[in-house]
């Protein structure tokens, strides 16, 4: 799951299918991991279903002390 968060941080906004492809994971496995990360408040989906993507939540960034600086 750390790989997912790292990828989302570097890509800024990314769709689940892109994450699965880049990490060479099955889409179904990725859906389970994304669901858990969303429940924990680590990531959130921003935008429309068609054009949106996952981002690391501002709340998570604040809780972790902002170790990653967003541009």
Instruction: Find where tokens 């991991």 sit.
Output: 33
Question: Under CATH, to which class is 2-63 assigned?
Answer: mainly alpha
Report whether pLDDT(68) > 80: no
Report whether pLDDT(70) > 70: no
Q: pLDDT digit string (tens) for 17-48?
A: 999 999 999 999 999 999 999 999 999 999 99
Domain-wise residue ranges, the chain = 2-63
Contacts of 68 by beta carbon, 8 Å cutoff, 6+ apart: 9, 56, 61
Q: What sign does the dihedral 63-47-14-21 (CA atoms) show?
A: positive
Query: Band of the pLDDT at 59, cuts 50, 70, 90?
Result: confident
């Amino acid at each position: 799951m750390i790989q997912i968060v790292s990828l989302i941080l570097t890509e800024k906004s990314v769709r689940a299918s892109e994450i699965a492809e880049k990490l060479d994971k099955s889409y179904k496995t990725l859906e389970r991991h994304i669901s858990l990360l969303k429940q924990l408040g680590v990531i959130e989906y921003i935008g429309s279903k068609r054009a949106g993507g996952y981002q690391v939540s501002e709340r998570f960034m604040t809780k972790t002390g902002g170790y990653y600086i967003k541009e």
